[in-house]
Amino acid sequence: MKMKSSEEIYISPHHLAQLQTKYMPGNKYSFNSSTPRTRLERLLRERELRKFNQSFHLSNEARDGNGEGDPSGSDSPNEGDNFGIQNEEEFPEGFTEGRTTSKQRLLVVANRLPVSAVRKGEDLWQLEISVGGLVSALLGVKEFEARWIGWAGVNVPDEIGQKALTKALAEKRCIPVFLDEEIVHQYYNGYCNNILWPLFHYLGLPQEDRLATTRSFQSQFDAYKKANQMFADVVNKHYQNGDVVWCHDYHLMFLPKCLKEYNIEMKVGWFLHTPFPSSEIHRTLPSRSELLRSVLAADLVGFHTYDYARHFVSACTRILGLEGTPEGVEDQGKLTRVAAFPIGIDSDRFVQALELPQVQNHITELKERFAGRKVMLGVDRLDMIKGIPQKILAFENFLEENPNWRDKVVLLQIAVPTRTDVPEYIPDIKLVHMMKYYEVLVVAAAISTLRLAPQGESISLTMKDQKLTSQVHEIVGRINGRFGTLTTVPIHHLDRSLDFHALCALYAVTDVALITSLRDGMNLVSYEFVACQASKKGVLILSECAAQSLGAGAILVNPWNITEVAASIGYALNMPADEREKRHWHNFMHVITHTSQEWAMTFVSELNDTIFEAELRTRQVPPLLPTKDAIERYLQSNNRLLILGFNSTLTEPVDNIPGRRGGQIKEMELKLHPGLMEPLKNLCDDPKTTVIVISGSDRGILDDNFSEYNMWLAAENGMFLRLTTGEWMTTMPDNLNMDWVDSVKHVFEYFTERTPRSHFELRETSLVWNYKYADIEFGRLQARDMLQHLWTGPISNASVDVVQGGRSVEVRAVGVTKGAAIDRILGEIVHNRGMKAPIDYVLCIGHFLGKDEDIYTFFEPELPSEPAAAARTKVVEPVKTSSTKVSSTSRSGSKASRGKKHQALSTLEKRTCNSGSASGSGWRPTVRENTSLHEGSSVLDLKSDNYFSCAVGRKRSKARYLLGSLDDVVTFLKDLAEFSRPC
């Protein structure tokens, strides 16, 4: 059956596997398994799917005779310079009405829509396609149903106009965000263009009066957040389950957070089209932390190059103190994937354009005009980061050093005016005309067949652009006056853009392209030049300071080194033909394979896979604590045990101190959270409740915070114990060897002296070195060196455990864990209180190190018939005899509880057995045959539904449940105390 040309071919992944098996047996990526096992296998399979769909679509077009469609598109994204501008009225296929499809929807959210709106009446709007590489990039994304959300670029205050514009844009699958003039002024012209853009390009923050700057920063940032929330409101209104939301550029850094607050399940990606600065530059931004955390709410964060991705991860690590991994940034178990996705161009559009008659006419005209001379080309936006003065000075240096080339080479420099649509940037008209008159005087000879802007046409310039233009004109005039003649000049400088056909022709006749950006996003002029060089095979000189992926075939230069750039010009002009061809081949193959369409498809594919990976990780994350159920079962029980951690569980938060670094002293002096004082007192005063605070801190810290409460304190991971009304006692084993302490102490002192802002604690059973507030990367290096030294020296033969925390190193005796100590602690508590009934409810909450999480598993009943992994979701009730209730045995994960043989009965058990009542009616522990019993474990009669173990802020935990933060702990304990208060 012959398909119509309008029909679209789409192969699902399921059918792709069948087709690959049947028709592509030789493909090593033809996975026979229906479910790829690894992330790489999934991405490779997705890549094969895209290739197969594309080839199938192209072959169908060839059969129908539709393979030579006129390509549509526009220039590059916001940052990458791409001047292939075409005035076309058609829109990308993905944004036109009239198709019904069940494909996944893609919501593209950018500051500007791909169309410009012009009002022709009260309810009449004219739409014209705008310049923007995202349109071109999404042309080939046929696997998704795309919709674009953004600002239309006009102020529409009336409701009639808004409704009419919304209806007109809906036909193009565009959805407007209406921003008023004040928001645009503060958000776009202010925070985006005056603060973020200069900072991201290493130009620093505006140098103004300090107080005025602070006020403007805050007001502009408030407008920035408000505008991002307005974008989020529109996205939320049109979002459907399963949609992919793709946010673009620095204008919308706050958007991912807003979207996730609306729907945590939303698939959100964010891509930056500019450079991302180093952490030392980014830390100068007053709102640095808030912006970083907002971006981290996205599932996938993309950059043009690995350098920019690395800078982002470094900023999150150094400024936020988060964990940087090869995959991205991890925050309490949540991973935000960070990766590089270099954008490209629609190379077929440029290759095909060279065959058009109007382009061929331009090529012939240019060849005649510059016959006998080598043509060098520079195409840049009129911006200080593009390095136009440095480029021209380097060319002057080349002419000075090479007199024989002075009449054999010409530099054509196209300087495209920027920000022509921002009202603030409209210049002083007198100054513009003065500049145009000055240009006529100094570069009159430069006026050639390359048409200038019509006489009297004004060019919008900022004050900085005006200064830059004046500087460039002065340099050009001086060089032309020095090396030019009455008929020829070495530099032709144009302050205007060229149409698409003229630009393609100019690319085609160029011998050397010179791109010398001082700091840039992905500069796509180099891609366009390579795509148009099939016959000429010209040489590309490319700045190493711009995002680029053409290093294999280009000559990379430091744009600030004028001498180096001049030498590279000479090398390029004298390059042998065979070397030019090899370099061009490397560049051309990269350009045609790394297209803008492939960029978009790769990003969306990675985003979908990131969501899949996150779902796999989520299955391993404990569910949130069912607070209502925990409170109800607490009220129904008769003998309750509450085990609470201290640090990061009951402590006063340090985040409320201005600046993250300001909390070091406060964190070293741990204090009880003020909001927990009354709830803890109520819980401790309940005769049915026993409260234990167990901590790795020493005895003095616990005494200072809890001496007024009726509770049990377990210091140094349970090695010391006391009731607040009694004296401290030790639960340490008799054979605990501490001879290693002095030697480890000397090592810790040495590294503390060599690591600024680090400190160590000397405890009676352990030593802890903490580098949380030191430089993160330096602290990690020091910790690695410390561990290497410890293992080969002081503790090489000692019975110790080395416990690595997030920003700490702890050395403790073998077997010293909270789980190993809890059974001995329970024995002492039962003996002290003279319990007559078993404990039937246990609540254990803490932010414990992984080594100490055996305290959670201690209370889990044994499951001989169930896999160990099922303990969290299904726990059987303890075994019962005919006469007494029997506890389950402990499953402590420590070496002490699993690797050694425990004594049959503890001291407490012996006392209880010897002093039992004559009638035998009193409760006493019993032991099952062939079951090893831990000290204190026999006081439990714990059903699965009455045990609640809960990790605080640790999503990878052995606990059954999760509490997200310290605030959640405070809220839960307040509710527990309130409900348990007697009526």
Rounded to a whole number of angstroms, the CA Rg of the chain reads 35
Question: Which one is predicted more confidently, 455 or 252?
Answer: 252
CA atoms within 13 A on the CB side of 108: 23
Counting residues of the chain whose pLDDT is more than 70, the rounded percentage is 72
Task: State both tokens at 969.
Answer: 């702990």
362-371, 698-707, 830-839, 917-926: lowest mean pLDDT where?
Answer: 917-926
Q: 671-700 pLDDT, tens per residue?
A: 899 999 999 999 999 988 999 999 988 888
Q: How far is CA 338 from CA 277, 498, 607, in A?
A: 15, 37, 10
Contacts of 910 by beta carbon, 8 Å cutoff, 6+ apart: none
The amino acid at 374: K
Rounded to a whole number of angstroms, the distance between the first and last alpha carbons of the chain is 81
Whole-number Å distance between alpha carbons of 405 and 401: 9
The arithmetic mean of pLDDT across residues 820-832, rounded, is 81
pLDDT band at residue 479 under the 50/70/90 scheme? very high
CB proximity list for 94: less than 8 A, separation 6 or greater = 106, 138, 139, 141, 142, 144, 145, 146, 173
Which residues lie closer than 8 Å to 479 by C-beta, 6 or more apart?
392, 395, 396, 399, 490, 491
| pLDDT of residue 491 exceeding 90 | yes
- Residue 138 has a pLDDT of 66
If one compares 272 and 954, the residue with the highest pLDDT of the two is 272
Is residue 613 within 8 Å of residue 556, measured between CB atoms? no
Q: What is the pLDDT of residues 376-413, one digit of tens each?
A: 999 988 888 899 999 999 999 999 999 999 989 999 99
Q: Which of 186-200, 356-370, 492-506, 808-822 has the lowest mean pLDDT?
A: 808-822
- More confident: 266 or 81: 266
Residue 75 has pLDDT above 60, yes or no: no
**Residue 861: count of CB within 10 angstroms of its CB:** 20
The two most distant CA atoms of the chain are separated, in Å, by 126
| Candidate ranges 223-227, 543-547, 897-901; pick with highest mean pLDDT | 223-227
Q: Which residue has the tokens 């997030």?
A: 806
Flag whether pLDDT at 614 surpasses 70.
yes
pLDDT score of 102: 64
- C-alpha 416/C-alpha 494 separation (Å) is 8
CA-CA distances (angstroms) from residue 445 to 490, 541, 576, 683? 10, 26, 32, 91
Which residue has tokens 């909270």? 818
Structure confidence at residue 3 (pLDDT): 43
Sign of the dihedral defined by the CA atoms of residues 517, 523, 527, 528, in that order: negative
DSSP E strands in 386-511: the ranges are 409-416, 491-494
* pLDDT number for residue 215: 64
CA–CA gap between residue 178 and residue 845 (Å, rounded) = 48
Q: Which residues pair with 642 in a beta bridge?
A: 691, 843
- Sequence length of the chain is 983
DSSP E strands, 191-275: 244-248, 267-271
pLDDT value, residue 459: 36
pLDDT value of position 842: 93
From the CB of residue 449, how many other CB atoms can be counted at a distance below 10 Å? 10
Measured between alpha carbons, how far is 524 from 131 in angstroms, rounded to an integer? 14
Asked if 230 contacts 207 with a C-beta cutoff of 8 angstroms, the reply is: no
**Concatenated DSSP letters for 836-901?**
SS-B-EEEEEE---GGGGHHHHHTSPP-TTS-GGGGGT--PPPPB-SSSB-PPPP---SHHHHSSP
Angle 785-788-790 (CA atoms, 0-180°, nearest 5)?
Answer: 105
297: tokens are 């709410």
Query: What residue has token string 């140094």?
Result: 716
What mean pLDDT is predicted for residues 465-482? Answer: 88
pLDDT at 81: 52
49-67 tens-digit pLDDT: 666 666 655 555 555 544 3
Q: Which segment, 231-240, 333-342, 714-723, is predicted with the most confidence on average?
A: 231-240
**pLDDT for 531 beyond 90:** yes
- Has residue 73 got a pLDDT over 60? no
Most confident among 48-62, 329-343, 857-871 (mean pLDDT): 329-343
Bridge partners of residue 493, in order along the sequence: 413
Q: Is the pLDDT of residue 902 over 60?
A: no
CA distance 524 to 515: 10
Q: What is the rounded average pLDDT of the residues 252-278? A: 94
User: How much is the pLDDT for 754?
Assistant: 92
Q: Pick from 234, 95, 72, 82: which is nearest to 151 by CA? A: 234
pLDDT at 33 over 70: no
Rounded-to-integer distance, Cα 688 and Cα 980, Å: 10
Question: What sign for the dihedral angle of Cα 166, 168, 169, 172?
Answer: positive
Q: pLDDT tens for residues 107-162?
A: 999 998 888 888 888 888 888 876 555 666 665 566 778 899 999 888 888 889 89
Residue 772's pLDDT is 85
What is the residue type of 178?
F
Give yes or no for residue 573 having a pLDDT over 70: yes
Say if residue 87's pLDDT is above 70. no
The answer to whether 267 and 611 are in contact (CB under 8 A) is yes
Least confident piece of the model among 4-8, 115-119, 462-466, 596-600: 4-8
**Is the pTM for the entire model greater than 0.85?**
no
Give start and end residues of each alpha helix (H) in 269-377: 279-282, 288-296, 306-320, 347-353, 357-369
Res 862 pLDDT > 60? no
Question: Is the predicted pLDDT of residue 903 greater than 60, yes or no?
Answer: no
Least confident span in 178-187, 556-565, 773-782, 934-943: 934-943
Q: Does pLDDT of 797 surpass 90?
A: no
Average pLDDT, the chain: 77
pLDDT for the residue numbered 10 = 45
Tell me the mean pLDDT in the region 261-275.
93
Q: How many other CB atoms are found less than 10 A from the CB of residue 717?
A: 28
Question: pLDDT-derived band of residue 367, with 50, 70 and 90 as boundaries?
Answer: very high
